[in-house]
Amino acid sequence: FLGRAIPIKDTNEDVIQWIGTCTDINEFKQFQQQKDNFLGIASHELKTPLTSLKLYSQYLEKNLRKQDDNNNADVAKKMDDQINKLTALVNDLLDVTKIQNGKILLNKSDFNFDELVNEIITEQQMSTSHRIYLEAENIGNIYGDRHRISQVMSNLISNAIKYSPSSDKIQITTKLTEEGCVLFSVRDYGIGIPEDKKDKVFEQYYRVSGSKEHTFPGLGLGLYISSEIIQRSGGRIFVNSVEGKGSDFCFEIPKADNPH
């Protein structure tokens, strides 16, 4: 049961009465549970055919290139790019169900942070005409979940690219903070975020409603998943942004193991 109490005040703003309501939320919870289960099963089932499709499209491209049929090979490559996008969406849905079931566990180890940053930038640069610049401090090894941290980096960079359609510069900065944390920041010069929406962008399914001239594809899950990963890594994620000027998304995580 969910209880709510509403105060009734007189003209002097003194409370003279309380009105209480009691709502049975069992049905609502069951509905939520069914929705989460469905999401989990559906995204899991979608993964198998997607994996096969990816193998077929890559096989097709390779063979067409061998036969010098580059036009059709380019079509196969486009197919592969779309399959990658679909796979990323399905992975986001799977991650959300994992978060809801408390099953998003971090697999921590020592890894070289600088190498990971370079790897992610090279990968992202291959699929965009935006120019990605890096200003990096030498950070060396950190203790964390390499795969999940790379997921957050990719998410922030691909958002910076997506939400800056008329500016092609992306600036990435890495630093060691005085508190012994690693700071990773992605600065874009795109559409920016209105002041009152800045905290909301980390909420599940939240998307700033698009202006008329721009509509951007997405489910509103990337930042929610990223913030879960960063929080579970003992860090914090935040954004500085000016609407119409651009955004600076940052995360900070401890370099060494978090005692908590």
* Residue 224 in tokens: 């929610």
Task: State the minimum distance, in angstroms, from the CB of residue 242 to ligand ADP.
Answer: 10
Min CB(215)–ligand ADP separation in Å: 10
Token code pair at residue 164: 């800056």
The end-to-end CA distance of the chain, in Å, is 33
Rounded Cα distance between 197 and 96, Å, is 21
Name which of residues 179 to 238 contact ligand ADP (CB under 6 A).
188, 190-193, 201, 206-208, 218-224
Q: Give the nearer residue to ligand ADP in terms of CB position, either 162 or 255.
A: 162
User: Residue 46 or 219: which CB sits closer to ligand ADP?
Assistant: 219
Q: Name the residue number minimizing CB distance to ligand ADP.
A: 218
> What part of residues 87-116 is at the interface with ligand ADP (CB under 6 A)?
none
Question: Where are the extended beta strands (E) located within the chain?
Answer: 2-9, 15-23, 109-112, 131-136, 141-144, 169-176, 181-188, 236-242, 246-254
Token digits for 195?
């002041």
Phi, psi of 6 (to 5 degrees): -115, 125
User: Cα separation of 48 and 243, whole Å?
Assistant: 41
Site size toward ligand ADP, by CB under 6 A:
20
- Tell me whether strands 169-176 and 131-136 are parallel, antiparallel or unpaired: parallel
Cβ 240 to ligand ADP shortest distance, Å:
11
**Whole-angstrom distance, CA of residue 256 vs CA of residue 111:** 11
- Residue number, 220 or 234, with CB nearest to ligand ADP: 220
Q: How far apart are CA 260 and CA 144, in angstroms?
A: 14
198 backbone dihedrals φ, ψ, rounded to 5°: -60, -40
Given the complex with ligand ADP, which of 89 and 181 has the nearer CB atom?
89
CB of 140 to ligand ADP, least distance (A): 28
Smallest separation, CB 42 to ligand ADP (Å): 18
Choice between 110 and 199, CB closer to ligand ADP: 199
Site residues (CB under 6 A) for ligand ADP, limited to 121-180: 159-160, 163
Q: How far is the CB of 194 from ligand ADP (least distance, A)?
A: 10
Residues contributing to the site for ligand ADP (CB under 6 A): 159-160, 163, 188, 190-193, 201, 206-208, 218-224, 247
